[in-house]
Amino acid sequence: MSVTPNRTAFMAQAMHADNPHPETFHRFFECWISEQNTYLEELVSAANNHNRDENDDAVLCPLIERVVGHYEQYYQAKSNWEKRDAISMFSPTWRSKLEDSFLWIGGWRPTLAIHLLYSKSGIQMEAKLGDLIRGLTTGDLGDLAPDQIKGIDDLQKKTIREERMLSDKLAKQQESVADRSMVELSNAVSEMIRNENDDAENEEEKVESTLDSKKDGFEELLHMADDLRLETLKAVIEILTPIQAVHFLIAAAELHLRLHDWGKKREEAHVAENLTSGPCGLHVS
């Protein structure tokens, strides 16, 4: 994916502009993801050049800060758009359907951070099991210290609790689509249509304000979910050593980028298939 030349300017605009077009976040996302790709390469090279003999935290820490800052930027921009159009942020057009199916309240499920950590840690651990058994340290994620395991376990329990709290909130929010005001309103408007009543104008205002209140609920949920996502990511990094954090961020970026690629590739293949052989191919061409 190529980086747009005026990226910096665009990012600035994306973060602050009052442009309400949903497409804009789509473009911001494309930019962001290409930047993530660049950061990934930086992380990989930092991991490869990492020398256990030399304390290179001075190199790693600023890089980690920048990568975390990049995530913060993403959530800042997302939050800005959520304020304008929370509903469309729930069904992002910038994601593939594959990614969509893994989403929870408009983004990744916060506990994924811990599962990702356990998976990557397991892979690195099994690669050096012999060393670890003899008490040698490997420094990577395979070598989580007791206090780190404890920290991760605590974080997981806390994250699950908060995820559940938000899931419950989401349930309430979704159930409210059939609350009294909505049923009353839908009935009133239906009656008017049936009676060909011209008074529909008045009702329209009511409809708007009722739907707006629903929207506000979703917006709040999105903010809370995004906060939890960022908070969890930072908490994981806080538990890890700098080089472990680099490995973790690599795994996170790789999973995110590849899932996005795979999803898009599938969709493109699907479209191509429909164009050539599908029944709707006739319509499209």
Partner 1 sequence: MAGMCCGVVGETETPSTVEPSGGRQARRRRMDIHQLKFLAAAAAASDVVVAPVPGSGRKRRKVQSLETIANNSVDAKVLTTPLECEKVVQQKEDGHLGSSSETVLYPCKSSSETICDVQSSRFGVTTVCGRRRDMEDAVAVKPSFSSDLHLYGVYDGHGCSHVAMKCKDRMHEIVKEEVENSGESLEWKETMAKSFSRMDKEVTEWSEGASGSNCRCELQTPQCDAVGSTAVVAVVTPNEIVVANCGDSRAVLCRNGVAIPLSSDHKPDRPDELARIEEAGGRVIYWDGARVLGVLAMSRAIGDNYLKPYVIPEPEVTVTERTAEDECLILASDGLWDVVSNEVACSVARMCLNSQKPPSPLRSPGNEVNVAGGESSDKACSDASILLTKLALARRSSDNVSVVVVDLRRNL
139: DSSP letter: -
Stretch that binds partner 1, among 2-10, 16-24, 175-183, 238-246 (CB under 8 A): 238-246
Binding of partner 1 at residue 165 (CB under 8 A)?
A: no
What whole-number distance in Å separates Cα of residue 86 and Cα of residue 77? Answer: 13
What whole-number distance in Å separates Cα of residue 178 and Cα of residue 153? Answer: 39
**In whole angstroms, how close is the CB of 238 to partner 1 at the nearest point?**
6
CB atoms within 10 A of CB 229: 24
**In whole angstroms, how close is the CB of 52 to partner 1 at the nearest point?**
4
Binding of partner 1 at residue 232 (CB under 8 A)?
A: no
Binding of partner 1 at residue 171 (CB under 8 A)?
A: no
DSSP bridge pairs for 104: 107
Binding of partner 1 at residue 147 (CB under 8 A)?
A: yes
Per-residue contact flags (x/-) with partner 1 for residues 182 to 221, judged by CB under 8 A:
----------------------------------------
Contact indicator for 250, 47 with CB cutoff of 8 Å: yes
Please identify which residue in 3, 9, 12, 61 interacts with partner 1, judged by CB under 8 A. 61
Per-residue contact flags (x/-) with partner 1 for residues 105 to 144, judged by CB under 8 A:
------x---x--x--xxx-xxxxxxxxxxxxxxx--x-x
What whole-number distance in Å separates Cα of residue 265 and Cα of residue 49? Answer: 33
Binding of partner 1 at residue 259 (CB under 8 A)?
A: no
Q: According to DSSP H, which parts of the chain are helical? A: 7-16, 22-49, 57-84, 86-90, 97-100, 112-127, 129-133, 146-175, 180-194, 200-239, 242-276, 281-284
Contact positions vs partner 1 (CB under 8 A) = 52-53, 55-57, 61, 111, 115, 118, 121-123, 125-139, 142, 144-154, 156-157, 160, 238-239, 241-242
